[in-house]
Structures are given as structure tokens and as C-alpha cells.
Chains A and B, each alone.
Chain A
Amino acid sequence: LAKTTQPISMDSYEGQEVNITCSHNNIATNDYITWYQQFPSQGPRFIIQGYKTKVTNEVASLFIPADRKSSTLSLPRVSLSDTAVYYCLVGVKGFQKLVFGTGTRLLVSP
């Protein structure tokens, strides 16, 4: 069973740019890549979604290379409130099963 993988944790300081990468070698042709943010005791919350190249919204950017085997979530200038766990969500080719990544715990310090 194919897996998506992310770094377990990352540390940053306020005002810095943070890039979190997710590997997904068996992504399905028609599937989008979606990133979610989760705070303690809450359900995951949608951040951004894309299919290829680059997508940008008011809170983040998503970079997807041509082969789509990975994606990078970019948070431009993090604040303390961005401390959370970040998940990537993609479909897995051949299984039609939605698989969350392992999650990356981001800690933003003053």
C-alpha cells in the first residue's frame, strides 16, 4: 500500500517562511492534492488545494512539480497562531482510497 510521507516536525520563528513537503509517489491521475491544518481538539481545516504547478490563496501557496509525485505547502510569514499539525491529502492510485499524510507538527516560536 502506497504511503504519503511528510517530515514529522518543523520549527520556525515568527515572520519566517515555512515550506512543508509531502511525497506521494502513487497519486491518482484525477486526484487533487489538498492540505489541511489541525489545532489541538479540533478537526482538520482546509488550507489549499491544487492539481499541478502553483496555487496561491490568502494564507498559503502550493507548489506541485510536473510529475506530481510531491507537493510543497508554503506559509509566507508564519505567526504563533500557525503552530499546528499540517496534513496533505491525496488519493492513492489503484485503491481509490483517500490517504492522509503522516502530518507535520509545526512549532512557531517568538
Chain B
Amino acid sequence: DAGVIQSPRHEVTEMGQEVTLRCKPISGHNSLFWYRQTMMRGLELLIYFNNNVPIDDSGMPEDRFSAKMPNASFSTLKIQPSEPRDSAVYFCASSLYASGNTDTQYFGPGTRLTVL
């Protein structure tokens, strides 16, 4: 199994530009999570999906952030327009069960985003 796949691994962009992060969960997993990690705030849950449906997006910082999951094998996290304070490592994770509880999550390698 290839595990959770994220792309790109690194992204450098300028303030005001649109950024799209991509994630392919483990095949057969029903839940998908987007996290953001910074030194100041640690690891924060942004949003999670069960069976492709967004369940809890209360962690999304503001309207500039949006996430979609058009099918079971693909999700995107978009930031438009990006700001320097969005610089962080963004992780995608997936889990087998669709309960939304703390089932084992498998994390991708992350996307390191730098907004200049």
C-alpha cells in the first residue's frame, strides 16, 4: 500500500496567490482529515470528511480556506488568497472507519507551504 499521498511536497508562493494542496487517501478508507502544523499552534485539525461529506469544518481559520472531496480517492485544500501567516506544514490523514472518533489515522508526508 502506498499510504496517504500528498502533493506538492513543497510550495512557495507569493501573498495573494491561490494555493491548492492535494491528497489521495489510502484506498478503502472512509474518513479524511486535513491538519495544519506550526511551531506556534502545534497540530490543528482543520476539517474532516466521512464518506466524502464534510463533517466538521470548525477548524478552518477563515473563508479564505476551502476543502473539497469530490470522490473517495481525492481531496483538495485551497487557500485563496494566501497570506504569509498561512505558512505551515499541511498534513492529510485518512482512517478506515467513518465514525469521526479517534480511529487510527494514517498521515501523509505533508506539504510545506511558504507564502512570501
Contact = CB atoms under 8 A, between A and B. Distances in A.
Interface of A: 28, 30-34, 36, 41-46, 49, 87, 89-91, 95-100, 102-103
A71 to B, nearest CB: 12
A98 B107 CA distance: 15
A31 to B, nearest CB: 5
Nearest to B112: A41
Contact of B107 (A30, A43, A97): A43
A100 B33 CA distance: 13
A99 B105 CA distance: 13
Nearest to B109: A43
Contacts, number: 59
B25 interface: no
Closest 9 CB pairs of A and B: A43-B107, A100-B43, A32-B102, A34-B102, A46-B104, A43-B91, A44-B107, A98-B45, A31-B101
B104 A98 contact: no
Interface of B: 4, 33, 42-45, 48, 56, 58-59, 91, 93, 100-110
Contacts of B58: 95, 97
Given A30-B101, A32-B101, A98 B48 contact: yes
A34 B107 contact: no
Contacts of A97: 45, 56, 58-59
